[in-house]
């Protein structure tokens, strides 16, 4: 259905490009916004508009942050002997929620996928190696690999284990209690906490 308003049509078209939002949902959202108080819609537009200006990636761990280094990298109470390697910034939030991990993170920005043409050079692997070699990070004793439990995550775990083993005392992986083929984010806190606790040497 085409609307008589190009502004509305443009918004629907843009919203429908977002993940999980099809044309129908986009229409519903756009018409909903149309009925909301003008200041609420303006506030939403502002927060979308300033998102990329304010949010950057941490120059140490590649997590998303407004301050560089990010609050986790800056926090002197965090255990600098352990780095947990994850695929996406969302995984940091998920692991933080368990309150089980007090070390530092490294966000790869994805996982190895030969099928989709994603190789180590497309991920923050070089940055991780540089971190381990940097003077102030030589205290790293353990690297925990916390990839998603799927084929790409497994390939990434094996690749990193081989690469990192000579550089640190221990490379471990989170236990497999998380359903295979899923995302870390779908694991409940207790399962993830158990998976962290029960991690094994790779």
- Range 95-154, binding Zn ion (CB under 5 A): none
Task: Give Cβ neighbours of residue 112 (< 8 Å, ≥ 6 apart).
Answer: 118, 119, 120, 123, 152, 155, 156, 159
Minimum CB–partner distance for residue 58 and Zn ion (Å): 3
Residue for token digits 């940055």? 127
Report the C-alpha gap between 129 and 125 in whole angstroms. 6
Report the C-alpha gap between 69 and 76 in whole angstroms. 12
Minimum CB–partner distance for residue 48 and Zn ion (Å): 24
Give the residue with the Cβ less far from Zn ion, 61 or 85.
61
Give the residue with the Cβ less far from Zn ion, 28 or 56.
56
- Range 35-94, binding Zn ion (CB under 5 A): 58, 60-61, 63, 69-70, 73
Minimum CB–partner distance for residue 62 and Zn ion (Å): 7
Residue ranges that bind Zn ion, judged by CB under 5 A = 58, 60-61, 63, 69-70, 73
């Amino acid at each position: 259905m085409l609307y008589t308003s190009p502004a509305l049509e443009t918004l629907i078209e843009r919203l429908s490009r977002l993940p999980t939002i099809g044309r129908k949902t986009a229409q519903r959202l756009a018409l909903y916004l149309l009925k909301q108080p003008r200041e609420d819609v303006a506030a939403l537009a502002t927060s979308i508009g300033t998102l990329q200006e304010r949010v950057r990636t941490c120059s140490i761990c590649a997590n998303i942050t407004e301050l560089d280094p990010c609050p986790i990298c800056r926090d002197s109470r965090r255990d600098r002997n352990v780095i947990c390697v994850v695929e996406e910034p969302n995984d940091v939030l998920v692991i933080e929620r368990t309150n089980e991990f007090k070390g530092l993170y490294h966000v790869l920005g994805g996982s190895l996928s030969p099928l989709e043409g994603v190789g180590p050079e497309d991920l923050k692997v070089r940055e991780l190696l540089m971190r381990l070699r940097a003077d102030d990070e030589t205290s790293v004793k353990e690297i925990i690999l916390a990839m998603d439990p799927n084929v790409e995550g497994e390939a990434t775990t094996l690749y990193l284990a081989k690469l990192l083993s000579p550089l640190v005392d221990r490379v471990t992986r989170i236990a497999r209690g998380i359903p295979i083929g899923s995302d870390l984010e779908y694991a409940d806190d207790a399962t993830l906490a158990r998976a962290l606790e029960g991690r094994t040497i790779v």
